[in-house]
A and B are shown apart, each in its own frame.
Chain A
Amino acid sequence: MSLWEYANPVKFMRMADRILPVLWPLSAILLVGGLIWGFFFTPDDFRQGSSVKIIYLHVPSALMAINGWLMMLVASLIWIVRRHHVSALAARAAAPVGATMTVIALATGALWGQPMWGTWWVWDPRLTSFLILFLFYLGYMALWVAIENDDTAADLTSILCLVGSVFALLSRYAVNLWNQGLHQGATFSVDAETNIAPVFWYPALAAMGGFILLFIALVLLRTQTEIRLRRARALIAREVVE
């Protein structure tokens, strides 16, 4: 019993089939519960009013936008080193989900920024690096679509993912030099001495958990779809030969 067992598509499909029915309701409960709790049962901030509540969408989606790319990086590495097709397909499946998370984070940030900072968009280091991350997601997905041969596409996109990670990290620190920030530092953390009050912390935690599970469920489902698509294509190819 090891992780590599799931490199076998049949075993992966069986595992995903078993996990998904649990994962969907769990993520739904956490997400809906966390958001309702956050939106209706926490007090308004004394200066920001109720606009602060967008944070229950903003922070989890930003979290998953970055971790989505990290997951793609790990999956790409596994593909390059061990050439498991499931891994390459998982990386492919994660990209649109991660890109959507990035858009949600940017959009909720803009919605919050309009009343609070008085502007939809500023060229703040955090905002800018998220926009750049979004561009990386776009390029990655476009490359997958553009190349016809599946193995070639998997190879090229995984190398792009590795190189892109280095440049994305570099850009993240480069923009610090270029412009000073308006965005606040990390509010949520596990080890900081002054965390936010527990009233806000627990619903945020629930929403984050919900987003994480939702991400995993979506990626599993999309990977299953990719595997089925490939099987269908193989079947059609066999029919044509016969």
Chain B
Amino acid sequence: MIALLRRDLAIAFRAGGGFGLSIAFFLIVTVLVPFGVGADVTLLSKIAPGILWVGALLACLLSLDRLFALDWEDGSLDLLATAPLPLEMVVSVKALAHWLTTGLPLVLVAPALGVLLNLPPSGYLWVLVSLGLGTPALSVIGAFGAALTVGLKRGGLLLSLLVLPLYVPTLIFGAEVARRGTAGQSVDTPLYLLAGVTLAVIALLPFASAAVLRVNLR
């Protein structure tokens, strides 16, 4: 298990692993938004939490098709499926590796990008907290979508179509935490719901992903 995690991390950090890609994408989205909506500072600070959430979500989506595709192509996914480690565990570890290389860096750079969007000082903590709680769910749900489309030649677009509706609850709760936190309101309800979604998804969805992978490896 640890070995698999270390292998995935090593592959991701090595050249061509696409490690910096999602952060760069996040940066570009954040830079482009003010060009699109105008440089009005009050407007920007109002929509900043939402932009950060949508940007992080899209950046996360961008790297999903690499989650299983490379292992599928060179056959190591077959090896992993026949290994003593349950496939459910393999999926979870791969999702964890994806989160460590994509989700976590996005969470960490989000406050820096918040400066660009004139995020009010009260918002930094809640953007960090909500993204930190929400991005694991994005990785786990994404692993399900990646498992669904792993056998397809050009599955990237289909992957987005399948995964984006599944992201809706996480996005709603996460962005709501960030928005309410920034506005200085009570964040309890969306925060608990966000944590609930993340925990439930981590606990249950790997079973579906593993079932899907078994079908695809048949």
Given A146-B152, A159-B212, A174-B193, CB of A164 within 8 Å of CB of B165: yes
Are the C-beta atoms of A135 and B144 separated by less than 8 Å? Answer: no
Write the chain A residue with the least CB distance to B189. Answer: A177
Q: How far is the CA of A177 from the CA of B158 in the complex (A)?
A: 29
The reply to whether B169 and A170 form a contact with Cβ atoms under 8 Å apart is: yes
Interface residues of A, dominant DSSP: helix
Chain A interfacial residues counted at CB < 8 A: 25
- Residue in A closest to B164 when the chains form the complex, CB atoms: A135
Whether B172 and A139, one on each chain, are in contact in the complex, defined by CB atoms closer than 8 angstroms, is no
Partner of A170, one of B155, B190, B197: B197
Residues A159 and B168 in contact, CB atoms below 8 Å apart: no
- A166 (CB) vs chain B CBs: closest residue: B204
Is the CB of B166 closer than 8 A to any CB of chain A?
yes
Kindly identify, within residues 112 to 167 of chain B, every residue whose CB is under 8 Å from any CB belonging to chain A: 144, 148-149, 151-152, 155, 158, 161-162, 164-166
Q: Give the interface of B toward A (CB within 8 A).
A: 144, 148-149, 151-152, 155, 158, 161-162, 164-166, 168-169, 172-173, 176, 189-190, 193, 197, 205, 208, 211-212, 215-216, 218
Give the 5 A-B CB pairs with smallest separation, nearest first. A135-B165, A155-B215, A174-B169, A139-B162, A174-B172
Q: 6 A–B contact pairs at CB < 8 A? A: A146-B152, A146-B158, A159-B208, A163-B205, A164-B165, A178-B172
Supply 13 further A-B pairs (C-beta < 8 A) apart from A146-B152, A178-B172.
A135-B165, A139-B161, A139-B162, A147-B151, A152-B151, A159-B208, A159-B211, A159-B215, A167-B168, A171-B172, A174-B169, A174-B172, A177-B176
Question: Which positions in A face B, CB cutoff 8 Å?
Answer: 132, 135-136, 138-139, 142-143, 146-147, 152, 155-156, 159-160, 162-164, 167-168, 170-171, 174-175, 177-178
